[in-house]
Amino acid sequence: MLTFTSELNDYTACFHAALRRSGLEVHKAKWSGRWLYRNVRSGDVISLDWPSLLFYHPESRLKTWVSLLRFLVLMLALRLRGAKIIWTAHNLYPHDGGRRALAQRLGRYIVVRLASCVGVHGQSSAEVVQHEFGITPSKFVLLEHGNWVGFYANTVTRQEARSRLNIPQDAYVFLFIGLCKPYKNLEYLVRSHQALQDDSLLWIVGQFQSQAYYRRVAQAARSAVGDRTTIRDEFVASDELQLYLNACDAVVLPYRDILTSGAAMLALSFGRPVVAPRLGTLEQLVTDDCGVLYDPATVGALQAAMCAARGRRFYPQRIIDRALQFSWDRSAEAFAKKVSGIR
């Protein structure tokens, strides 16, 4: 029996389906002492993807600390019950609060110390996590982030997508798509695009979780010369992703800090090149055939990378072929093998 406590999203939906294909049982758990006591037995597996969601309340420090104490008690109870806890390190620290928030640091410490093993999406991520938390190499398991080819609707042509979005057919379009949070560095993206001083367009599409942050990014866009930046503060439904991805020429992900990027895999799965910092698993994922990586510590590096991307010719099928090299089934097999070896 496998018990999961993470929120169901597209990543977990694909990974859980692969686990079931590998022969493992997958059950969605409730983070409740009563539920865990009644359902978890010795040898069961608890998989944590984003554990901070179980205790962190950004609107209330009191709620956070009370929930963190409860989190510690339940984690200890699970270990005493003989459960195996596996944490998949999607990020080094949660992006909400991050390293600066004491509760988040303590929460991560609890997870790392009580986890039976830690899943990572690439060797670079393993090295970062190992350096930060002092985890022994034998505790890691490599879990590929599978591709999204065929998972999302992809029936709209480039011409149709641009017509529906009122984008000129001959324009060069840079796209950022996804949740809009400060760690994604969108003000820097807007400034870097302005510095190109060309006729390219920038589209920023996704839901802003903070209106204060939206105003900052919008203000940066308003200061630009000309009307070359479009910001759409909205949730993008799964079947609408194809509109933006097929309409763009390149996807730009200007993260300040990242271990794994589902958005990068999404772009590659649609045959779109990626411009991103040389951080985490992006270094292994984005090859010269499917994007441009830059040094985030170098001044003007994002601008130069965007310029380089526009000046190169990318082949969509080669990019899709790169995405297809990453398999959910292989990831599930590695997970199952690691689980069976935990004593």
Q: Are residues 109 and 91 in the same domain?
A: yes
Residues 164 and 299 in one domain: yes
Coil, strand, or helix at residue 260? Answer: coil
The pLDDT assigned to 318 comes to 97
For residues 122 and 163, membership in a common domain is answered with no
Residues 193 and 63 in one domain: no
Helix count (H) and strand count (E) of the chain?
14, 12
Question: Do residues 134 and 180 share a domain?
Answer: no
CATH of the domain at 132: 3.40.50.2000
Domain count of the chain? 2
If asked whether residues 120 and 41 sit together in one domain, one would say yes
Same domain, 92 and 114: yes
The answer to whether residues 294 and 334 belong to one domain is no
Q: Which structural domain, as residue segments, surrounds residue 73?
A: 2-146+327-341
pLDDT tens for 85-97 read 999 999 988 887 6
% pLDDT > 70, the chain: 96
Neighbour-count burial of 214, counting CB atoms closer than 10 A to its CB (0-12 exposed, 13-18 middle, 19+ buried): middle
Residue pair 262/11 in contact by the 8 Å Cβ criterion = yes
Same domain assignment for residues 236 and 302:
yes
Residue 151 lies in a domain: no
Could you read off the pLDDT of 321-334 as tens digits, one per residue?
999 999 999 999 99
With respect to residue 138, please indicate whether it lies within any of the assigned structural domains: yes
Show the low-confidence residues of the chain (pLDDT under 70). Answer: 1-8, 97-98, 224-226, 343
Domain identity same for 306 and 168: yes
Q: Does some domain include residue 152? A: no
Asked if residue 301 belongs to a domain, the reply is yes
The model's pLDDT over 127-183, given as tens digits with 9 standing for 90+, comes to 999 999 999 888 999 999 999 999 999 999 999 999 999 999 999 999 999 999 888
Q: What is the pLDDT of residue 224?
A: 65
